A = this chain, B = another copy of it.
């Protein structure tokens, strides 16, 4: 909690080295499955050295997360024109976030559920594609009937499932204190509007050019 240990320049490099190795392994195997000894091995140092730079495994993780958030924050701030109206700023912030996340996939992957406990990942993933394909069917149907503008259906699928799960999560966490009937209705409208409306928003999206995903 108090001032961190004082390191020489070389020391800081080492620390950075460990951070990068950890980031890599956390992303590949998940936080739990990445052993400290692995991290050290990957960084080419002995296990004991880890504790010269970090008091605990969690603290390293925390440092990664904080760095990431801090950078994102600055990027967002930089992307928003101070003179613009709030909604524009919102849009700029959102765009910047998406770009930033894409540019730092490795970092952000750390936060994905799948990466936290590698063993549980399959269980949780299994079956979640069922919803996806259900929704996809509906979307495609709707597009065929002209109810939903053309564009990569996957985009809409992600949007719809994401909305439902986000609102659900927020409500469950007590962050969204709204009578359930109202919430359900609001989410329903939100989804409908989002899907049926933004006529040309997704217009020019490269429509998933066939086989190239794993």
Contacts and interface: CB of A to CB of B under 8 A. Distances in A.
Please tell me how many copies of the chain the complex holds.
2
Name the prevailing secondary structure of the A interface residues: helix
Interface in A190-214: 190-198, 201-202, 204-206, 208-209, 212-214
A100 B201 CA distance: 31
Q: Which of A119, A178, A193 has the most CB of B within 10 A?
A: A178
A188 B94 contact: yes
A1 interface: no
Given A85-B145, A116-B117, A166 B168 contact: no
Given A102-B168, A171-B102, A178 B155 contact: yes
Interface of A: 31-32, 58, 61-62, 65-66, 69, 73, 76, 85-87, 89-99, 101-102, 105, 108-109, 111-113, 116-117, 119-120, 123-124, 127-128, 130-131, 134-135, 138-139, 141-142, 145, 147-148, 152, 154-155, 158-180, 182-198, 201-202, 204-206, 208-209, 212-214
